[in-house]
Structure 1
Amino acid sequence: MNAYVFPGQGAQFPGMGKDLYEKYPLAQQLFENANDILGFSITDAMFEGSADDLKETKVTQPAIFLHSVVLSKVLGDSFKPDMVAGHSLGEFSALVANGTLSFEDGLKLVAQRAQAMQKACELQPGTMAAVLGLEDAVVEHLCQEVPGVVVAANYNCPGQLVISGEVEAVNQACEKLKGAGARRALVLPVGGAFHSPLMQPAREELAAAIEATAFSTPSCPIYQNVTAMAVTDTEQIRKNLIAQLTAPVRWTQSVRQMVADGASNFIEVGPGKVLQGLVKKIDAAAEARSAEVLG
């Protein structure tokens, strides 16, 4: 079975999507439509902008979403997912790919999500750190011992977990984790504490937008970050999408569940190759590659 997976923040690169725009009329139409919806030229930022330009949250999230969704559209008839999943932001791309959200609604929600997250970051500064070489349960336990807010945020693959929370709490947790034998506990250059309780204001703001958006019956199950289980019920998808901002991304668990449910072929749709690497670390027997447009 084919599992199509969609990357999240951090996969962006200068010039992303330009080849699709120049080669496919459908891509050009979708990109121009996106410029109109967003009210600024995202194509300028994507095609001509620097790495710093692309780091702006209001640009990064729509840019990655657009690259992924446009690529899935130009794949045409060869795009036949049996299941989909997305890493954090990538969940929105996956929901457009399986028909739950329209392109326009997906893009509007991603833009609102980016702005809501930016506001939450300004309201309460936070950070994230990558922890390598420890069991998940050890990381969880040590985070609980630290005063303040610090939680497991991204279960990326065995031995690679990202923690998130208040700056001081994350720094203290890093010291504890190194003391417990972590190979690395490295604070990341991010603007806030994503997938932690500090995102509650963003969650409330995005919840209203998600509730007001039409959701259609998906063409195949989505394995959502919050539960790591196959979901096809639109109301459940909606609830999980709202919960996602303050809950951890259970990527390791999602990939394992997809494999258990019959996935043998993972195809990454969008910029970069991060998810393919994670899939191989989670299940060495799984095939993983980038989506390619034939012809």
Structure 2
Amino acid sequence: MKSHFLTIPYQSISQLPAISKECIEFLDNNQSLTLDEITNSFFSAFHTAKNKIIVSIDEGNNEVLNKLRCIEEGNYSSVSIYPEFNTVERKKKAFLFTGGGSQYPKMGKELYDNETVFREAIDRCAEIAMNYLEHDIRKVMFSGKTTKKGKLINRIDYMQMALFSYEYAMFSLWSSTGVKPDIVIGHSIGEIIASCVAGIFSLEDAIKLTCLSGQLVENYTKKGQMAVVQGEENVVRGFIKDYKTTIGIAVINSPLQTVISGELNNLKKVLNDLNKSGFETKILKISHAFHSPLMIPALEPYISLIKSIKIKTPSIKMVSCITGEEVDSKVLSIEYWIGHLINPVKFSKGFKKIKTYDIDTFIEVGPNPVLLGIIDEHPDFEADILQISSADMDEPCKFYNSIKKWIVEGGSVDDTSIYKDVIIDIEKFEDFFNNLSKIINTTESNENDALEVNCIKNNVQVRSIVKEEIGSILSIVDLENLPIQKPLKELGLNSIKALKLVKNLSKILHQNITVSNLFDYPTVTSLANFIVSDVNKKTVNVSRIQDKNTDSNVKQYIDEINNMSLDELELELEKELDLLGL
């Protein structure tokens, strides 16, 4: 793996300064050690430790020492990846395969250049796809957005193959580290990729279906449009009832989010009506109206295509977004795959089904964490499930931090996949590791001492956490320019996002923060000031590492919100509003 990182174990966070000091002394006395030797030895010795932090290293040994000094001073959170959950062994993983609209120019380029497994998977896909596409999919994926070939990434036939290549390669990269799915689910084109890795299609047939189905849509159907509506399916259906031959429900992502798809002019009228009625809408980066009546002209040649492909039952458990149920022998039928072209994507139903398998981790393998974003706002989402994205447009190599996150949160990996071909003189490290073990096992552990910070540090940390959570929930990337005096409602905070915000802040800060607090303190500044003033009244854990002694009232409040149905969530919000007289 290209990325280097230092694995540091602990039993209590309060031990980290002493552990870091010991590490600094050892490295100062052994300056001939290479970065490979240091990081490999630490990883080999400590990656199975129950409690650990991971420090990313990009530049060399000096960076190791500088970051260790930060940890020695108590600033571990600024230089490391650390657990946000009670560290447990991660046992059941679901891989999520993203659909159309998540693509962007040059996605996967750095991983292609630096990771052999990723590159070989892309190359294999590209070679097969050359049987069906005029242009090499690698040129389409890795060219700039202003180039002739780069612009093809948004054309249906190339968009589908670009996403297939990327997600198949990312699946291969995760698998090479020993992180493999217990269950898979795919959204639209993602369903074909998920079906491939689950063994329903061979790679050759999956690529054939991906390329040729895209060409059928491109050649047989009219241009159309798809748009996300923040509204319930049944309500949205009322707005499209007069356009049955031109517009359809394309996707049900959640009880609160529906995607409509259809003819451009009619869809524009519907979106205008929805906006006038107060519904938020967003047009997707897709040139055709998938899962709508506009697909019908492609149906006959599509059926012939399906008949030419060999279909098997899955070898990995898979939940279908065509039916919303676990895939069974129905996957062998033509009718099942007709549904993939013209019927709605039932992601909300599929998500509810996948929850019944006691999944503790979601890993999205697409180039943007679209499905994690949908899940995060789903009323049935449980906050104790670990969510890991592989990349996003702003962080295309996020995989490196994601695998580290997986490790610190209790996930296991194949240790030989992380550092290969590095010969270590273990005797150099023997006394040092023994000294670390003494610190970890014999230092009196006060679980609260490193979690208690002075008021100045509380102010800085709490304000940062509030700002970060608000930015995350409202999808505001540029936190430096976040308008902190602007009401949160004007920034896009709706009722469900408000409940999610108070749930997250209550969990992170171990305080009972309610929706009514958001109305009393409606801006970033006022909310942060309120929380800080409350923090300073008592000793509070402002670390994102959970403590066994979390206040029971806060835990009960979070559990109540997590277990609420959509109707109960709305009732909870109404109660809060009644208390405020609003």
Q: Structure 2-normalised TM-score? A: 0.47
How many residue pairs end up in the alignment? 291
Give how far 1:85 is off: 0.8
Secondary structure in structure 1 of the residue aligned to 2:96: strand
Which residue of the other structure, out of 137, 146, 160, is the alignment partner of 1:42? 137
- Amino acid paired to 2:388: R
Match of 2:159 in 1: 60
1:93 aligns with 2:193: yes
Q: Relative to 1, partners in 2 of residues 1:82 and 1:147: Cα closer, same or farther, differing over 3 Å?
A: closer
Tell me, in whole angstroms, the C-alpha distance in 2 between the residues paired with 1:41 and 1:147: 39
Match of 2:208 in 1: 108
Please identify, of 148-157 and 190-199, the stretch whose mean Cα deviation from structure 2 is larger: 148-157
Give ranges in structure 1 of 5+ residues lacking alignment.
none
Q: Relative to 1, partners in 2 of residues 1:242 and 1:146: Cα closer, same or farther, differing over 3 Å?
A: closer
Secondary structure in structure 1 of the residue aligned to 2:367: coil
Secondary structure in structure 1 of the residue aligned to 2:362: strand
Counterpart contact for 2:154–2:285, Cα < 8 Å: no
Which residue of the other structure, out of 136, 151, 158, is the alignment partner of 2:233? 136
Match of 1:159 in 2: 256
Tell me, in whole angstroms, the C-alpha distance in 2 between the residues paired with 1:154 and 1:215: 25
Q: Relative to 1, partners in 2 of residues 1:235 and 1:253: Cα closer, same or farther, differing over 3 Å?
A: closer
Which residue of the other structure, out of 224, 233, 239, is the alignment partner of 2:329? 233
Q: Relative to 1, partners in 2 of residues 1:147 and 1:80: Cα closer, same or farther, differing over 3 Å?
A: closer
Please identify, of 13-22 and 223-232, the stretch whose mean Cα deviation from structure 2 is larger: 13-22
Q: Relative to 1, partners in 2 of residues 1:220 and 1:44: Cα closer, same or farther, differing over 3 Å?
A: same
1:150 aligns with 2:226: no
Matches within 5 A, 1:161-240: 161-182=258-279, 184-233=280-329, 235-236=331-332, 239-240=335-336
1:17 aligns with 2:143: no
Match of 1:243 in 2: 339
- If asked which structure has higher relative contact order (CA below 8 Å, sep 6+), I would say 1
Tell me, in whole angstroms, the C-alpha distance in 1 between the residues paired with 2:387 and 2:299: 32
What CA RMSD, in Å, does the superposition of the two structures yield over aligned residues?
A: 2.3
Please identify, of 64-73 and 209-218, the stretch whose mean Cα deviation from structure 2 is larger: 209-218
Give how far 1:62 is off: 0.5
Counterpart contact for 1:215–1:234, Cα < 8 Å: no
Match of 2:96 in 1: 5
Counterpart contact for 1:20–1:71, Cα < 8 Å: no
Counterpart contact for 1:125–1:166, Cα < 8 Å: yes
Tell me, in whole angstroms, the C-alpha distance in 2 between the residues paired with 1:215 and 1:250: 22
Please identify, of 29-38 and 68-77, the stretch whose mean Cα deviation from structure 2 is larger: 29-38
Match of 1:290 in 2: 389
Percent of matched pairs sharing the same residue: 30
Q: Relative to 1, partners in 2 of residues 1:188 and 1:10: Cα closer, same or farther, differing over 3 Å?
A: closer
Task: Spell out, residue by residue over 1:236-264, the C-alpha distance to the aligned partner (whole angstroms, 9 max, x if none).
Answer: 47542331111111111111111133323
Tell me, in whole angstroms, the C-alpha distance in 2 between the residues paired with 1:76 and 1:217: 24
> Which is richer in strand?
1
Give how far 1:90 is off: 0.4
Counterpart contact for 2:313–2:332, Cα < 8 Å: no
Match of 1:126 in 2: 224
Tell me, in whole angstroms, the C-alpha distance in 1 between the residues paired with 2:152 and 2:196: 26
Give ranges in structure 2 of 5+ residues lacking alignment.
1-91, 391-398, 404-416, 419-582
Tell me, in whole angstroms, the C-alpha distance in 2 between the residues paired with 1:216 and 1:79: 24
Tell me, in whole angstroms, the C-alpha distance in 2 between the residues paired with 1:186 and 1:272: 17
Tell me, in whole angstroms, the C-alpha distance in 2 between the residues paired with 1:177 and 1:246: 23
- Amino acid paired to 1:173: V
Q: Relative to 1, partners in 2 of residues 1:243 and 1:32: Cα closer, same or farther, differing over 3 Å?
A: same
Counterpart contact for 1:12–1:60, Cα < 8 Å: yes
Q: Relative to 1, partners in 2 of residues 1:201 and 1:148: Cα closer, same or farther, differing over 3 Å?
A: closer
Q: Structure 1-normalised TM-score? A: 0.89
Tell me, in whole angstroms, the C-alpha distance in 2 between the residues paired with 1:5 and 1:15: 21
Please identify, of 84-93 and 195-204, the stretch whose mean Cα deviation from structure 2 is larger: 195-204
Please identify, of 141-150 and 59-68, the stretch whose mean Cα deviation from structure 2 is larger: 141-150
Q: Relative to 1, partners in 2 of residues 1:210 and 1:49: Cα closer, same or farther, differing over 3 Å?
A: farther
Tell me, in whole angstroms, the C-alpha distance in 2 between the residues paired with 1:49 and 1:114: 22
Match of 2:537 in 1: none
Please identify, of 12-21 and 58-67, the stretch whose mean Cα deviation from structure 2 is larger: 12-21
- Amino acid paired to 2:224: G
Which residue of the other structure, out of 33, 38, 51, is the alignment partner of 2:124? 33
Task: Spell out, residue by residue over 1:257-277, the C-alpha distance to the aligned partner (whole angstroms, 9 max, x if none).
Answer: 111333232111121111111
Counterpart contact for 1:69–1:270, Cα < 8 Å: no
1:262 aligns with 2:362: no
Task: Spell out, residue by residue over 1:57-109, the C-alpha distance to the aligned partner (whole angstroms, 9 max, x if none).
Answer: 22211011111111212322624322111110000110111121122211111
Counterpart contact for 1:279–1:288, Cα < 8 Å: no
